[in-house]
Structure 1
Amino acid sequence: MFRAALLASLTASATASISCSGYEDCTTCTSQSHLLGEPSDDANSTLSTTLFGCRWCPQDNSCHKDGSLFNPCSSSESVSYFDVCPVPPEDYPGVPDFLPDWMANLMPVISDLTLLDLSLPGTHDTLTYDLSTTVSDAGIDDYDELSKILHLFSGLIPGQIEDFIRQQAKTQALSITQQLDNGVRFLDFRNMQESSGDWYSLHCLQSNNPSLTYLKEIRAWMDLHPSEIVVMWVSKHGDQNAVGDNAYPGVSAEDKQAYFAQLLDVFSGLVIDTAVSQPNSTSVSDLIARNHRLVPYVSDYAEFTGGSQYAMDGALVDNNLGSSVDGEEDAYNSEMAMFGSMKDLRAADKARNALYLRSMATSSPDFQVEAVAMMKFDPLANSDEQTAKCAQGFNIPSLTSWCPPTLNDIGQMAAYYKQLSLEEAYQKIDTDGWVFPNAFYIDALDYDGTIRSGSTLLNGLVREGGVEGKEKTRYAYADTVVGANVKLACRDRGEADADCAALTELVEARRAKYPAERWDDLKYGRSADWPV
């Protein structure tokens, strides 16, 4: 019955007429047309959107019907999906100041520290801003329900299921160059060899470009910023201990090492040489002087690198996950316990050359994926029931009538709560002697090194009905982590130290632009007095 209803609805929608010329910006052009389940003139159908939709052409800044002869953009140049529309803040200068070279700017106080004395802003699933709609050969191992949906319906509605998966797998909106410009120095670089023999990044779906494309982009950025060190964790799925076939199913050691040789070739002259430099004993200034500025931690180290001196063993990433936003009370308590113990934890890790990594990321929980999928693809689904079931699953008291439709929505809701932990821990650096982990990874990096805690997505898509004036609120994520480095480096230098005074003033002025803010938004799950 469901298949018959779906096919009937799709057949009707395919013949529907649509006008794209009335949409005046990329976000409304691409979000109002090609996604199933969007409203239309036919109030009796929940799946009345055309399958062909609209595309935005950056060349003429106009919206065109898919396949239109009047579209000056090629299919590869046209923007098809709302979540990739370029919508920076109105006052964004293109490249922020300070953050692209924050290590160079801090060099007067951090030069004698080691890499494992520092804290690095990072991103989770760094390359997911550029996911395609091609399912990776590595499978979608974290998404059992999506696997079932894909198997059942991908033949009926080509491309729509895959795009839905993309919306549940995409954690970032900024490109790798933009992330580096905005202060990120820890990259969660996930990749897998596909059946073509090429290596691609992946998160359920493979990236639009081969992994080498992104590696070359990182190299180009590093050449422009000669005093910056980048740590890159290379894995298939963020598992520091997986080896052999468990790490890269069906990939031979020979193919792994051939790819690693390509990586070394891209970063020739920039990669750490562990026969000379070690993260726990070599000073930051010496790493930069030796041009040992790319530090790859590689999982499945023996098979992937052949025991190379030009990489660190990925098993030395002390990867701590914590709870997601659907268990935020536990997440907050876990984060506070972690920060309170971090001084000792980092000291123990540094002694064995391990990097303490704390995840402040989240995921699309099964209950949310199922509910959104049912509402999008099942014409018989009761939307109110599915929404309520999804909202209750997040266990946030103020969230009762909204189901986040994408992982970006979830990431921004999580960012609202992660700012609380980060800010409290930052203040306790002075009062309680706390320190930050060696690196964080987090979702939804925003411009100027921030994380967005408001409900409007980074691509400009407005979630209607939120608290006015808070829709684009952001928190100074990168500057807070950088500020933690200043506090640590200056702890024993005294208040009279001119370099420390100047850097403290600068960082605090930057943080003041995006302070931690709380408000009650009953619709979108932001609470002013919960969990603390």
Structure 2
Amino acid sequence: MTYDLSDTLSDGYEGMGPVISNILHAVTPLVAGRFVREQGQTQGISITDMLNGGARFIDFRIMYTRGPDRAIGEKDWYCLHGCESQKKALEYLKDVRTWMDAHPQELVVLWASRHGNTGACGTDQYPDTTPQVRQAFFKQVQEVFGELLFNSTQRLNETSVLSLQKRNQRLVWLATDYVESTESSPLAVDAKSIDNQLVNSGHGLGAIKFLRQGGPKRRDSSAQNRFLLMSMAAGVAKEAIEAAAKIEFLPNVFGTHDKWRKECAATSGVPNMTFCPKYLMEWSLMTNFYNQKVIDMAYVEGAADLDVDFPNAIYLDAMDLGGLIRTGTATINPLEEGPVHGTDGFAYSATVIAATV
């Protein structure tokens, strides 16, 4: 849900203790909030537009936090990626329900976590929360989706799409902290069943090595009732973010900005790169430029080799309207727009669908 982030750092942000998190929650809207948001925004179109474009797996990150621009007051569940979302998490889920009602044959998988960790439980997953608070949120989830929730007394990997459609159990809720957050509800699936593969995306095309064994890997996961997930999202080095922050906030004394740009560029591993992406989405666009080659290679090679195949789901950045992934240089709303020629994209959804057919 990073298309709708505020300039307020979420409570319980990954890697920060509660005291620092609370201070930064109050401070970020006033100081550096936009920069912090820019380091977390990977998407620019709404959840409805993503679904219209073919997305069926949603990385849905949530945290129990005070609302944006509020230093005090009651907490609720918001989405987050560094900064927290403008609206409560439940509002985005209602958008999903509305879309599913309008598309009665479609299946959607939602993975709820704080920061993409499948194994952390309790307050390690959701700091400063109680089981009762977490269970109250899942009850709200049940109220939104009702009969659409998949009943996990059936093995997901042994249940056909047709069966899910006939039973109208078309929403799979993959829950981290499954035992406490859902009270081991059959209306959720334990996120520990996710086999989350953080493969090497980027200019080295390392992800194709994984996809060349995608068929056997997915069959192995299916036999274990696991959900094979692959990341093709951008990975940004801490040093690159630090360099971008120095360029943003510190004066250019004796050419220091050039020095920091070179340090930032060097972290990319791209030969002869000289610029420093300012936003996380700029890194995402560059990653997608190489991702399109990997996805197309898998499609072409898979036509002749059944071992070359896609996993159960892929998550990546900068999805664009119509099922494209943005590969040009223009960032997607609400970030600053680049030149018109920068809106090029790759037919991501259509390629995966074609490979499946």
TM-score normalised to the size of structure 2? 0.90
Match of 1:218 among 96, 101, 124: 96
Separation of aligned partners in 1, 2:337 and 2:95: 31
Matching residue of 1:485: 356
- The answer for unaligned runs of 5 or more in structure 2 is 67-73
Matching residue of 2:294: 421
| Structure 1 contact 138–249 (Cα < 8 Å) conserved | yes
Matching residue of 1:248: 126
Amino acid at match of 2:123: D
| 3-state SS in 2 of match to 1:239 | coil
Amino acid at match of 1:375: I
Amino acid at match of 1:185: R
| Structure 1 contact 173–458 (Cα < 8 Å) conserved | yes
1:291 and 2:168 matched: yes
Matching residue of 2:268: 394
Amino acid at match of 2:118: Q
1:462 Cα offset (Å): 5.2
- Within-5 A mapping of 1:306-325: 306-325=183-202
Matching residue of 2:345: 474
Match of 2:159 among 282, 292, 300: 282
Q: Which shifted more, 390-399 or 164-173? A: 390-399
| 3-state SS in 2 of match to 1:418 | helix
1:417 Cα offset (Å): 0.5
User: Which stretches of structure 1, 4 residues or more, deviate above 6 A after TM superposition?
Assistant: none
| Structure 2 contact 199–210 (Cα < 8 Å) conserved | no
Change (3 A) 1:387 1:483: same
1:410 and 2:283 matched: yes
Separation of aligned partners in 2, 1:272 and 1:234: 15
Amino acid at match of 1:178: D
Separation of aligned partners in 1, 2:14 and 2:257: 26
Separation of aligned partners in 2, 1:161 and 1:282: 48
Change (3 A) 1:162 1:324: farther
1:295 Cα offset (Å): 0.6
Amino acid at match of 1:310: L
| 3-state SS in 2 of match to 1:353 | coil
Change (3 A) 1:389 1:288: same
Amino acid at match of 1:212: L
Matching residue of 1:184: 55
1:337 and 2:209 matched: yes
Separation of aligned partners in 1, 2:39 and 2:59: 18
- Within-5 A mapping of 1:224-263: 224-263=102-141
Q: Which shifted more, 247-256 or 442-451? A: 247-256
What is the CA deviation profile of residues 259-289 of structure 1, one whole-angstrom value per residue up to 9, with x for unaligned ones?
11110111011111123x4321121111011
| Structure 1 contact 233–296 (Cα < 8 Å) conserved | yes
Match of 2:319 among 442, 445, 458: 445
1:324 Cα offset (Å): 4.7
Amino acid at match of 2:310: F
Amino acid at match of 1:181: N
What is the CA deviation profile of residues 289-316 of structure 1, one whole-angstrom value per residue up to 9, with x for unaligned ones?
1110001111111111111010111001
Matching residue of 1:204: 82
Separation of aligned partners in 2, 1:233 and 1:462: 30
Match of 1:300 among 160, 172, 177: 177
Separation of aligned partners in 2, 1:343 and 1:436: 7
Matching residue of 2:45: 174
1:197 Cα offset (Å): 3.0
CA RMSD in angstroms, aligned pairs only: 2.2
What is the CA deviation profile of residues 212-260 of structure 1, one whole-angstrom value per residue up to 9, with x for unaligned ones?
1111111111000000000011111111111122111121111111111
Matching residue of 1:375: 247
Separation of aligned partners in 1, 2:327 and 2:337: 13
| 3-state SS in 2 of match to 1:483 | helix
Separation of aligned partners in 1, 2:60 and 2:227: 16
Separation of aligned partners in 1, 2:265 and 2:48: 35
Separation of aligned partners in 2, 1:463 and 1:175: 20
| Structure 1 contact 141–204 (Cα < 8 Å) conserved | no
1:463 Cα offset (Å): 4.7
| 3-state SS in 1 of match to 2:115 | coil
Q: Which shifted more, 337-346 or 294-303? A: 337-346
Matching residue of 2:331: 457
What is the CA deviation profile of residues 178-214 of structure 1, one whole-angstrom value per residue up to 9, with x for unaligned ones?
1001100000011011152311111111111111111
Amino acid at match of 1:444: A
Separation of aligned partners in 1, 2:29 and 2:344: 37
1:160 Cα offset (Å): 4.1
Separation of aligned partners in 2, 1:251 and 1:392: 40
